[in-house]
Amino acid sequence: MNLHSIHSRTLVRPLLLGLAGLLFSFAVLRPAPAEQVKEYYSYHLSQLHTTLTRFQDAGYRADTTALRREFAACRAEYKHLEFAVEYYYPHAAQRINGAALPETEPGEPGEVIPPTGFQVLEEYVYAAPDSRANRDLIHQEIDNLLYQVRHLRQQAPVLSFSDAEVFDAVRLNLYRLAAKGLSGFDSPAAHASLPEAAVTLQSSRQVLALFAVPPALTTQLERCQAAVAAPRHDFNSFDRAIFFVRYFNPALAALRQAQVAQQIPFLAARRAVRVQAGGYFVADAFDPGFFAPADAAAPTPAVLALGKALFQEPLLSGRGGRSCASCHVPGRAYTDGLRVNSSLLGKESLERNTPTLLNAALQPDQFYDGRVHFLEDQVHAVVSNKAEMGGQLSEAPALLRKKSAYAALFAQAFTTERQPVTERNIRRAVATYVRSLVRLNSRFDHYLRGDTTVLSRQEVLGFNLFMGKAQCGTCHYMPLFNGTVPPLYDKAESEVLGVPATADTLRPTLDADQGKFLLYGVAHQQHAFKTPTVRNAALTAPYMHNGVYHTLEQVLDFYNKGGGIGLGLAVPTQTLAEDRLHLSTAEQQAIIAFIKALNDTQESAY
């Protein structure tokens, strides 16, 4: 070894050590990914405040085009923040970006909360004609938004992100994008759903990139963003079916794989959509038990066998001779095919149409007016209703003990109880059986899980119309297609449609049923009814709460005309948009074809 070599090595070693020390220092100084997410959040929160202030300054002097440009800039900034605001501050999120409709809290049904936020502001910005009064409303609504943003900025220093929460928040926000964003729910007047979706996907990619996730995830999110931002698409022509199958679902799967690879734990939370699911289109994504009370009976084979037997048992109605299956006929998708069923009280009829029990477990409220939360309470209410079943659950145990088969069925179902034949266990067994009637395995579900051969071109068009031009998806939220609100699916919405009393379109009259208004007397809930599922709807005619329409064609015609107001009825509380949809006959038939693709009466895996 020569002196030159020794000298070079002597110089290189300290240099390498110094470089290693420098890299170590950078690693130590670099914030953890969750801290970087907080910086991202704080930056865009500041930007939102700046853009809203600029918007307000321009409010009185800018022309309509400039106003709409400022509005779009503010909405885009919020879309960068939405994943965190919705996750950590849901009340503020409702005030910032909730629907432009009055609300009531479940615990305070008489307390009406007026609408506020971007969707209210959007109505003013896109209203015509322009006027000083309208500019005053714009100024006032921006004040409301700035109040909420200032509150969030005050809270920002104490807000703490964790890795698991960030992944959870991004995943929920992607569910929100699919169900609400792409349906037009967020942007009913501006129709800016696609550009706003692009911002949401960009934000998701930027946030997750802070965790050095595998390139497969960021690439897939980038492909999603490019798909919604493609200039050849507009809101009505965008192919949501292809988007979900080709881009969105692979992104959700990659997100789950990245979280597992990064060894970031899944939250130990119980939700309607299982936290560890690879997406909400997968077969076992939804957990029916989430909607059950704490003391619900486990769905063991013995409990289900007992529940099924009780479901078909006329003794529950005492002398009425009616069972649950009398009105919820399994062969009719658990409906009865009647406009309304007959009452046990003489010649009267029941007030409302019999709804399907398929997927009834996947909603937080029961009955058309949402008056009870749990299926157990619904069982009690129906059995004890003098017009429906006319029974007394308190008397049912004694009647059931007279049938020897029930002693064994109850004993096998409730093995730890000395006297299992009880009123409580009757409710629990029947409710558990109904909770087993989950059907999320239609041809449409197979399509979204990757088998694109199972739907016709007409059915795919129908889905795209349902989620786009026809605006069905803004109330019948995907993928349950009922009024249970994504992405948490823990709240059921009611709508005022202006349903007529008869199918006579020449001389229509508003149906007299006051709906949810009868519970609490809240004015905006007059004629409000829970939004039912569209799944299996092709099998459950007649339609609407009063069974007024006998065909899906009639239902589509009603919506196409703008509901009750579109028919010329006075419905001041109508929540359904009154504008005509301008759906052609071919488009309406495509939507009906899609609805038929949601038929699914096969036994569930639950």
Q: pLDDT tens, 24-73? A: 444 457 799 999 999 999 999 999 999 999 999 998 999 999 999 999 99
pLDDT at 414: 97
- For the cut 50, the answer to whether the pLDDT of residue 212 exceeds it is yes
**Letter for the amino acid at 144?**
N
Q: Are 56 and 142 in contact (CB under 8 A)?
A: yes
CATH class of 290-435: mainly alpha
Pair 443, 597: CB distance under 8 Å: yes
Please determine, for residue 606, whether its predicted confidence score (pLDDT) is greater than 90: no
Q: Where are the beta strands (DSSP E) in 81-156?
A: 103-105, 108-113
- The span from the CA of 78 to the CA of 84, in Å, is 10
The tens digit of pLDDT for each residue in 143-200 reads 999 999 999 999 999 999 999 999 999 999 999 999 999 999 999 999 999 999 999 9
The answer, yes or no, to whether residue 110 has pLDDT greater than 80, is no
Q: Model confidence over 78-109: pLDDT tens digits?
A: 999 999 999 999 999 999 999 999 888 766 76
Give the pLDDT band of residue 20 (cuts 50, 70, 90).
low
What does DSSP assign to residue 561? T
CA dihedral 113, 121, 494, 196 (to 10 degrees): -130
- C-alpha to C-alpha distance for 370 and 232, rounded to whole angstroms: 43
Q: Return the pLDDT at 42.
A: 97
User: For residue 21, what pLDDT band results from cuts at 50, 70 and 90?
Assistant: low
Tell me what pLDDT residue 107 has.
Answer: 65
Q: In this model, does residue 505 exceed pLDDT 90?
A: no
- Among residues 437, 301, 302, the alpha carbon closest in space to that of 363 is found at 437
On average, the pLDDT of the chain sits at 93
Q: Please tell me the total number of residues recorded for the chain in this structure.
A: 606
pTM: 0.92
Q: What is the pLDDT of residue 127?
A: 85
Q: What is the pLDDT of residue 604?
A: 45
Q: Give whole-number Cα distances, 422 to 397, 406, 417, 427, 490, in Å.
A: 6, 11, 10, 9, 30
For the chain, report the end-to-end CA distance as a whole number of angstroms.
76
One-letter amino acid for residue 9 of the chain:
R
Dump pLDDT digits (tens) for 293-336. 999 999 999 999 999 999 999 999 988 789 999 999 999 999 99
DSSP string, 335-385: B-SSSSPBPSSTT-B-SSPPPP-TTTTSSS-BSTT--BSSHHHHHHHHHH-
Can you tell me the mean pLDDT for 554-558? 97
pLDDT at residue 291 greater than cutoff 60: yes
Query: Which pair of tokens denotes residue 168?
Result: 């959870």
Dihedral class, residue 17 (left if φ above 0, else alpha if ψ from -120 to 50, else beta): alpha
Statement: residue 22 has pLDDT above 50: no
Please give the average per-residue pLDDT across 2-24, as a whole number.
Answer: 50
Give percent of the chain with pLDDT exceeding 90: 88
* C-alpha torsion sign, points 542, 182, 605, 427: negative
- Classify residue 502 by its DSSP letter: S
Tens of pLDDT, residue by residue over 247-288, are: 999 999 999 999 999 999 999 999 999 999 999 899 999 999
Residue 493 has pLDDT above 50, yes or no: yes
Helix crossing, 193-209 with 33-58: angle to 10°? 150
CA atoms within 13 A on the CB side of 549: 20
Domain 452-596 architecture: Orthogonal Bundle (1.10)
Return phi, psi of residue 117, to 5°: 115, -165
Contact status, residue 83 vs residue 204, Cβ threshold 8 Å:
yes
Report d(CA 493, CA 538) in Å as an integer: 22
- pLDDT tens digits along 380-428: 999 999 999 999 999 999 999 999 999 999 999 999 999 999 999 999 9
Pairwise CA distance, residues 115 & 368, whole Å: 24
CATH code for 30-161? Answer: 1.20.1420.20
